[in-house]
Amino acid sequence: MNTTTAAPLISLDTETTGLVPGHHMPWEIAIIRREPDGTDTEHLFQIRPSDAHLRHVADPESLKINRFAERFAIPDGHDAADMLTGNSPAPLSFFEACARIHALLSGAVVIGSNPSFDTAHLSHLLGVGPGRPEPWHYRVVDVADRAAGYLTGLGPQRSGLTPPKHATLITPPFSSKALSRAVGVEPPGDGDAHTALADAKWAMAVYDAVTAGGAR
């Protein structure tokens, strides 16, 4: 069940060429935007890293984990694409893609699994800085933190967990997958994990499960 919100809610996930914002870059960006009435729309963009970036900057392990070579699908000769327009990606310029992403994020509260990682990468992509503030609300929501707080409030008995397991789950550093399962949401499997849209859907499902009182 979709929850209503006071402001637009964005479930955000990025797949990147490495872990360091400003050095590496996001190449796949998923946005699930929930309007205050609970209506969801899904958006998926890819951005082309330069050949020099891929050769000299990108982290090979990151590209292996998010299956860049297998999944990158921007048509030759184009810098970006909207990936959810039908049977094939719709080419965009880099600036068109950034403008769409900026507009979708405008005024929204961002949720995700470690969303500060994603917003840090997008800040560099979108040129956030003096005179150009970040478009999203400054307070982002980590669904793992939210799930841990929810389970803390329930306690071991009401959460259906043994006291040792409950204590482990709510003690930092958190396991997002274990917390997700504890609130009744199965994380993405091997074929979907580390793909931006699947991970954004997962974060939204955890948010909804906790907000609605648990999915079990």
Our CA angle for 206, 210, 214, nearest 5°, is 100
Closest of 8, 47, 18, 22 to residue 129, by C-alpha: 22
pLDDT tens across 53-78, in order?
999 999 999 999 999 999 999 999 99
Residues 123, 179 share a domain: no
Contacts of 117 by beta carbon, 8 Å cutoff, 6+ apart: 14, 19, 21
Residues 195, 92 share a domain: no
Query: Residue 192 CB: number of other CB atoms within 10 A?
Result: 13
Residue 4 domain-assigned (yes or no):
no
- The pLDDT of residue 95 is above 70: yes
**Distances in whole angstroms, Cα of residue 143 to Cα of each of 97, 100, 107, 139, 175:** 27, 25, 19, 13, 11
Residue 41 domain-assigned (yes or no):
yes
CATH number at residue 82: 3.30.420.10
Task: Supply the mean pLDDT for the chain.
Answer: 95
pTM to 2 decimals? 0.94
- The pLDDT of residue 178 is above 80: yes
Q: Which of 88-97, 137-146, 205-214 has the lowest mean pLDDT?
A: 205-214
Count of domains for the chain: 2
In terms of residue numbers, what domain contains 96?
9-141
Residues 177, 72 share a domain: no
d(Cα 35, Cα 15) in Å, to the nearest integer?
24
- What is the DSSP pairing of strand 141-142 with strand 26-34? unpaired
Residues 110, 14 share a domain: yes
Residues 131, 41 share a domain: yes
Residue 154 domain-assigned (yes or no):
yes
- The pLDDT of residue 120 is above 70: yes
Structure tokens at 203: 């974060």
pLDDT tens across 132-153, in order?
999 999 999 999 999 999 999 9
Q: How confident is the model at residue 216 (pLDDT cuts 50, 70, 90)?
A: very low
Residue 126 domain-assigned (yes or no):
yes
Residues 158, 121 share a domain: no
pLDDT tens across 19-53, in order?
999 999 999 999 999 999 999 999 999 999 999 99
Mean pLDDT of 167-187: 97
The residue among 141, 163, 188 that closes a domain is 141
